[in-house]
Amino acid sequence: MASFLKNILGGDGKPAQKPLTDDTGFADFANAPEPEPVSFASISSSIPSAGAGGPAPTLTPSIPYTKWYRVWERTQLSDFYQEMIIAPFIILVLGIHLFGMRLNRKKASDWARHHAPALQFEFAQVGVASKTEEETTQPEDILQESKADEFITYATGRNNVAFVDIKVILMKRYNPLIMLGEHLLGFAFDSITPTIERMEAVTYPFDNREAALVPRKKDIPEPQTSNSGYDGFVFAVIHKRQLKTIREDRYDLSLPSAKDHAKLPDWATTLSESAEITEKILTPELIKAVADAGDLFETLIITDQPVDRPSKLNETIPRKRISLCLRLPSVQEGYIQSMPIFAYYLRLPDMLVQNARFRPEVLKKVKQVREAEISRIKKEDEVALAEERKLKTDKDKKDLRDAQLKNMTSEQQRKFLEKERTLEMRRSQKKKTMRA
């Protein structure tokens, strides 16, 4: 008992021993001397001075060079056999791609050189970027590369024409696999046609909207212009190879009737809403230009109706356009054939403003087709509104029925459902009686 109290009260007078810790991890540093800083003088004295013609001293320690640094010693030619097989194919693909893009750019430049003079003669600005009189504009500058197989240009600044959009579509020469796939699928499916190199131009006439379309400052009055409008109609001269597909693809060309014309070549036909329209639009100059173009000619379309079948009333608003589609020749001499029809196309809005005025009987027949389409759209809208109203009424009735059932007792719900069932049976019996 006495020893126990001494241990508690510390009566033995011996100091408490510190707990032992395992310092074996630092045994290597136990007897190490304290580090001392090295003076700069001792370092400088140990460096030999550069004598005359001797090497300059350096502080960089010498590193032994091994095979890891000497690549030529740790590699062999056989290590690169796989790369040597793949690299030629990569170079071949890149070469074909660059060569195809270069051919497409050259073909687009050929088109620009032949057509730029006619565009610059008819329009104040040709091309996306405006050029001053001091700047010399190359014909190739009028085109802008939209894609590797598509080039576009723009022309504006002319009476009766707001602007003209032109697109040159070329084959995908930069990817022969796509070209081969298009041709193979074209043989298998009639709906898939390989890409044909062509030029598509769309002219948007002013149609008495100069004040709305021509940008001007607030302090500048509206431009004083003559009447630039003409009667709306649909007329087209089409190569017969395009007749079936283009009438299926375009709503506006499904309205007029196809009829051959004695003065046109055998491979061309007209689409017109009236014989009077045909006689006024099909001038001798147009007939000669179409005949000169030959197989390069595809379509010349004058329309005021949408390309796609309208589904809303605002889509039936007439928007006048004039479009021309020509195939690109395989040689540069072929542009001599297509230039007359292209030049006539640029001047066609002037002829329409002067001559495209028809008798009321002709316009009445033209308007009847458009009014029939408007009536169809209105009827479809009314049917859609009636269905929507019916669905809303049925939903309101269902919500009212659910609310009534929710507030009823079980016995009241049973009677309510029996009454509904009885009424439904009576309605079905009446329908059977009426059918009989």
pLDDT tens per residue, range 320-379: 999 999 999 988 888 999 999 999 999 999 999 998 889 999 999 999 988 888 898 888
Of 364, 394, 420, which closes a domain? 364
- Whether residue 169 contacts residue 198, with contact meaning beta carbons closer than 8 Å, is answered with yes
Work out the widest C-alpha separation in the chain, in whole angstroms: 143
**Predicted model pTM:** 0.72
409 lies in some domain: yes
Considering the domain architecture, whether residues 331 and 371 belong to the same structural domain is answered as: no
> Which domain does 408 fall in, by range?
365-435
162 lies in some domain: yes
Of 364, 388, 418, which closes a domain? 364
**H helix and E strand count, the chain:** 12, 10
- When pLDDT is averaged across residues 126-136 and rounded to a whole number, the result is 59
34 lies in some domain: no
Considering the domain architecture, whether residues 197 and 236 belong to the same structural domain is answered as: yes
The pLDDT score that the predictor gives to residue 138 is 78
Considering the domain architecture, whether residues 316 and 386 belong to the same structural domain is answered as: no
Q: Which residues, other chains included, contact 176 with Cβ-Cβ below 8 Å and sequence gap of 6+?
A: 96, 100
Q: Higher-confidence residue: 16 or 110?
A: 110
- CB 161: neighbour CB atoms within 10 A? 23
57 lies in some domain: no
d(CA 64, CA 247) in angstroms, rounded, equals 82
Considering the domain architecture, whether residues 123 and 261 belong to the same structural domain is answered as: yes
Considering the domain architecture, whether residues 314 and 340 belong to the same structural domain is answered as: yes
Q: Is residue 63 predicted with pLDDT exceeding 70? A: no
Considering the domain architecture, whether residues 388 and 406 belong to the same structural domain is answered as: yes
Considering the domain architecture, whether residues 200 and 252 belong to the same structural domain is answered as: yes
Considering the domain architecture, whether residues 383 and 396 belong to the same structural domain is answered as: yes
24 lies in some domain: no
Q: Phi-psi category of 171—alpha, beta or left, where left has phi over 0 and alpha has psi -120 to 50? A: beta
390 lies in some domain: yes
117 lies in some domain: yes
Considering the domain architecture, whether residues 380 and 279 belong to the same structural domain is answered as: no
Considering the domain architecture, whether residues 396 and 295 belong to the same structural domain is answered as: no
pLDDT digits (tens, 9 = 90+) for 247-302: 988 999 989 999 999 999 999 999 999 999 999 999 999 999 999 999 999 999 99
Instruction: Fill in the DSSP letter of residue 298.
Output: E
282 lies in some domain: yes
Considering the domain architecture, whether residues 314 and 372 belong to the same structural domain is answered as: no
Considering the domain architecture, whether residues 402 and 347 belong to the same structural domain is answered as: no
Of 336, 364, 392, which closes a domain? 364
Radius of gyration of the chain (CA): 44
Count the domains in the chain.
2
pLDDT digits (tens, 9 = 90+) for 80-102: 889 899 999 999 999 999 999 99
270: which strand partners? Answer: 237, 259
Instruction: Fill in the DSSP letter of residue 30.
Output: T
- How would DSSP label each residue in 118-180? HHHHH-SEESSS---TTSPPPGGGG-EEEETTEEEEEEEEETTEEEEEEEEE---TT-HHHHH
